[in-house]
Structure 1
Amino acid sequence: MSKDKTAFPAKQRWGRKPSKNIAPKNYTADFAHEKNAAIEISMTPIGVVHSSYRERFAVPRQPSLDDAQAASIELNAGLNLEQAVQDLDGFSHIWVIYWMHLNQGWNPTVTPPRGPKVKRGLLATRAPHRPNSIGLSAVRLTGIEGRILHIKGHDMLDGTPVLDIKPYLPYADAFPDASSGWVEETGLTELGISINTGS
């Protein structure tokens, strides 16, 4: 009987290796969350969205399921962002992190507009009114001209401040076996219906 063993590739290690002969540092030891609960975070937008959507109720609830509209992101001048977008044109999709600048206030529970009229915990929905008005959208990148990024399939209002942009990585960002929690109970995921899992 052969005792050949199947050769497996070496396990990929993505973390950084600690330096030899140097004790690991504990950078978090001086940060106690309880003492910093009221910490304020200041952010400066890096650009602005130019979109045909000018009214909140006209924005798609899930842009990837609706008629994909084109828009552009104009990055701010004077920050060397022309260099920052180098190599981004090879990606078909990007994550856009933005500030929902017209939102005011939030509630801990919301009633989604589709499915059973049941109140859901805000953090189990995609309702736009949140403790911090941060938006996150995966959009198709169709072109780059200097500081202008052309996108398609989005849900951002005209004038939306952009906080950051990151490439969408299918191997890291897509989870085909992910569950959809209470949304699966509505049956809308199988139908491919655009459901606003918020208010």
Structure 2
Amino acid sequence: MNEVVFSPIGVLRTPHLRPESMPIQPAGARGVRGEALLAPHVGDGLLHLDGFSHLILLYVFHEVGPAKLRVTPFLDSQAHGVFATRAPCRPNPIGLSVVRLLGVEQDRLLLEDVDMLDGSPLLDIKPFVPSFDVPVDAVRIGWLAASHDAAEAARSDARFQHG
């Protein structure tokens, strides 16, 4: 396969300064505010973004350790394939979060429900559209059926960090 190289379009600023004890999903970060500081050259891409209540952010898990194909995720005590989890130690450490958009100020997005680590490089922004992004027939959630409700209270620990 060919190598794919991305350049960040900005950086995420959040109150989560260390991976330990940060929320593991946006559900655990309700009301937590942050911002996306965008590179000036992408500012024109924000036209009409303020008409959306929520955004999908794609970013880099920049402080994660090496990739693992089997992991014990935060919401379970047994190992699963990394692609059956949302663990950050992926072959391509790309994070995805749905956040609330509070405002657009030039090259700065004001956000809420931020669960990502401060300083995360931002790769892309997409508007969240419920009729596109929430399949009505999505009913199976695999092994998470037994524990997904715990995501609001669950916090990160050091298991996926460098070193």
Normalising by structure 2, we get a TM-score of 0.87
Q: Which runs of 5 or more structure 1 residues have no equivalent in the other structure?
A: 1-36
Percent sequence identity is: 36
1:74 maps to 2:34:
no
Distance 1:137 1:83, change over 3 A: same
1:144 maps to 2:104:
yes
Alignment deviations for residues 51-84 of structure 1 (CA, whole Å, 9 cap, x no partner) = 111101232112224443100001012x1x2221
For 1:169 and 1:68, the matched residues in 2 are separated by: 20
Q: Which residue of 2 is the match for residue 193 of structure 1?
A: 150
Distance 1:103 1:65, change over 3 A: closer
3-state DSSP class of the match of 1:183?
helix
Asked whether the 8 Å contact 1:50–1:73 carries over to 2, the reply is yes
For 1:156 and 1:113, the matched residues in 2 are separated by: 15
1:40 maps to 2:13:
no
Query: How far is 1:176 from its partner?
Result: 4.3
| Highest RCO, 1 vs 2 (Cα 8 Å, sep ≥ 6) | 2
Normalising by structure 1, we get a TM-score of 0.72
For 1:123 and 1:138, the matched residues in 2 are separated by: 19
For 1:160 and 1:66, the matched residues in 2 are separated by: 16
Asked whether the 8 Å contact 1:64–1:154 carries over to 2, the reply is no
1:120 maps to 2:83:
no
Which has more strand, going by share of residues?
Answer: 2
For 1:165 and 1:67, the matched residues in 2 are separated by: 19
The list of structure 1 runs, each at least 4 consecutive aligned residues, that deviate by more than 3 angstroms after superposition, is none
